[in-house]
Chains A and B, each alone.
Chain A
């Protein structure tokens, strides 16, 4: 799986949008961009994933650049409960490749009142 680079930490004011960047310049054509988050002392939680089009769900939006070398996860109205470590992972979806997720350092998002 391709490697990703994320800032180690970010702060965001409660109620404002949190924009979390991720670089994945070596992403392959069949690799998706996945985002997970891990709240303290819990297992990772799936947020969203995409291939090349922008995606939106009830939790977040995912913006992928046209060259697919970077992406941004957007939490439109951050709350204190969004404080967590956010992991950006690129991987092949489906298939028989084991599909284990390789976690990098992630971004520790601190939402402040």
Chain B
């Protein structure tokens, strides 16, 4: 199946700093990518939908100025958590959709804000 690479897999940052997470589709072009967040023992919650070359669409309750999404190419989307706080600590997962509209997931990024 198609491969989606997410980097980094783990990151620890200090409160108030920003962290960038990259999501790459390695062997297909992804016009649409999705960013999810998952807290311990909970299911994945969609944060935003990212379309190449246009602004992301955020789900209700997700602050667009805090979670900056850039989808500048058909193979790369980035999520930047700005001014991170301990409550932003979570497992962030990206998903990319191929031309057949099937979804493939990255390995996830464990963010810990201290």
Residues on A lying within 8 angstroms of B by beta carbon are: 36, 38, 41-46, 87, 93-95, 98-106
Q: A100-B49, A101-B103 are in contact. Are A43 and B43 (CB under 8 A)?
A: no
**How many inter-chain contacts with C-beta < 8 Å in the A-B complex?**
55
Question: Do B101 and A104 touch (CB < 8 A)?
Answer: no
Residues on B lying within 8 angstroms of A by beta carbon are: 1, 4, 6, 32, 34, 36, 43-46, 49, 91, 93-95, 97, 100-108, 110
Question: Do A99 and B106 touch (CB < 8 A)?
Answer: no
Given A94-B101, A103-B43, 12 additional A-B pairs, CB 8 A: A42-B108, A43-B4, A43-B107, A44-B105, A46-B102, A46-B103, A95-B101, A99-B101, A101-B44, A101-B103, A104-B43, A105-B43
Q: Which of B4, B34, B104 contacts A100 (CB 8 A)?
A: B34
Majority-rule SS of A interface residues: loop
21 A-B pairs within 8 Å (CB atoms) are namely A36-B105, A38-B44, A41-B91, A43-B4, A43-B95, A44-B105, A45-B105, A46-B1, A46-B105, A99-B101, A100-B34, A100-B46, A100-B49, A101-B34, A101-B44, A101-B46, A101-B103, A102-B46, A103-B44, A105-B43, A106-B43
